[in-house]
Amino acid sequence: MVRVLFLHPDLGIGGAERLVVDAALALKERGHEVSFLTNHHDSTHCFKETADGSFPVQIVGDWLPRKLFGRFYAICAYVRMIYAAFYASFFMPERKQVDVVVCDLISVCVPILRLARHRPRVLFYCHYPDQLLSSREGLLKRLYRTPLNWLEEQTIGQADKVLVNSKFTLRVFQDTFRRLQVVPDVLYPSLHTQYFDQMMRKLEQRSALLDEPVHPRVPRNSFIYLDINRYERKKNHALALHSLNLLRDLLPLPDFKRCRLIIAGGYDTRCTENVEHFAELEQITADLHLEEHVVLLRSPTDEEKCNLLYSAHCLLYTPENEHFGIVPLEGMYFCKPVVALNSGGPTETVVHSSTGFLCDNQDKSFGGAMHQLFKDEVLRLKMGELGHKRVQQKFSFGAFADRLNEIVQELLANKKDE
């Protein structure tokens, strides 16, 4: 048994959070002792495994500010993680000392973790270089980011092992951190398929007994396009709205009346962008006169998300150059064809014209794929079947758990050899 600590900034709802929770589940299933240390955890806005007692979750440093004067989010996030790393290294009770620390998103904690007297092995999972997630506007912003970018590269290089989530991210990592000699391994995220299997059986039983719509504003005979992603501008939800509007011209009126777009995204009132972008999408919906056809849902629970995936006819994935994207895997596992952009992680998960369509970032291309899936039920069902098989064969939870377990064991074996 290995004692593993996951150090994560904010255990909310998002792709990075889903990854670390699944990684924790994988290691727990392999017999290891797993816990979380985080700066923030809201039991009403998180994945259920972090709130139902599956893992011990300790919060430190939540009193530190998330921003200063409406700015400086990055430096505040760094300070909060440094605080957590000092706690883990020097103030955590002896009985809670761990063998391996898995951290992600913010690498500045890595050298501090290496200073701990018991010297745990440090595994850093890079979802995407943090410096590339920041906008580049203005001289002052560049001056502000320069030391942070340098610090990111230096501290990632001090981890005992670095993982990335896709071959796309690996290429970006190598282009960004040119001074590093580190060659990360690719560990694709996976799905905790056992949970999804249980939910599908439960939903099948319920649908056999109850003929109820997935949402009060979605009639039973609707053709449902589902778009799942956080309410952030980079997630490109507007593409789904404009593509739906294009269907108005492509479909006969009775068919278009059946079309419904459900956008279900992580929404945190503490995040200004979430609040602003939700309002922007409401305005776009009104401007396009799509109010009858669009439903915007905020922070659905895991059960609600599974119900949406089960009820949808097609999954839309709109971000461009997404680092990996777990949602297409979820859609494919629920036997839904995926319409995504032909860039980033989806090019490694979605097979064009087999499990879905990879499109240009234009409503004509994206809407054309949506139209084809509406008109061709045989194709839609076949793509869904092939997508489910692809997840089972290429992205199984068992393979993910086995590989992660091997990496953890290798880290400890290397420590003994030193």
Q: C-alpha distances in angstroms, 22 versus 88, 192, 248, 358?
A: 22, 6, 40, 27
pLDDT of residue 416: 61
Residues of the chain with pLDDT under 50: none
User: What element of type H or E holds 359?
Assistant: strand 356-359
The Cα–Cα gap between 163 and 120 comes to 17
Can you give the pLDDT at residue 313? 97
DSSP code at position 350? P
Nearest-angstrom CA–CA distance, 79 and 178: 26
pLDDT at position 359, please?
Answer: 98
Angle at 337 (CA atoms; ends 333, 343), nearest 5 degrees: 100
Sign of the alpha-carbon dihedral angle for 112, 27, 406, 41: negative
The helix, strand and coil proportions of the chain, stated in percent and rounded to the nearest 5, come to 50, 15, 35
What's the confidence (pLDDT) of residue 113?
96
Query: CA 329 to CA 389: how far, in whole Å?
Result: 11
Which tokens in the block code for residue 336?
A: 């839904």
- The pLDDT mean for the chain works out to 93
How far is it, in rounded angstroms, from Cα 64 to Cα 81?
10
CB neighbour class for 406 (10 Å; exposed up to 12, middle 13-18, buried from 19)? exposed
The pairing of strands 294-298 and 338-341 is unpaired
**Tell me, what amino acid is at 70?**
G
Q: Which of 305, 91, 319 is nearest to 200 (CA)?
A: 305
Which pairs from 354-358 meet CB under 8 Å and 24+ separation? 354/383, 354/386, 355/383, 355/386, 355/387, 355/390, 356/315, 356/328, 356/332, 356/383, 356/387
The answer to whether residues 332 and 342 touch, using CB atoms and an 8 Å cutoff, is: no
Q: Which domains are delineated in the chain?
A: 2-190+397-414 (3.40.50.2000), 193-395 (3.40.50.2000)
Comparing C-alpha atoms, which of 219, 242, 201 is closest to residue 362?
A: 242
Residue 259 has phi, psi (to 5 degrees) of -75, 135
Closest CA to 229 of 147, 320, 138, 115: 320
For the residues of 192-240, what is the DSSP string, one character each? -HHHHHHHHHHHHHHHHH----SBTTB-TT-EEEEEE--S-GGG-HHHH
Strand ranges (DSSP E) for 67-119?
100-104
Based on its alpha-carbon atoms, the radius of gyration of the chain, rounded to whole angstroms, reads 22
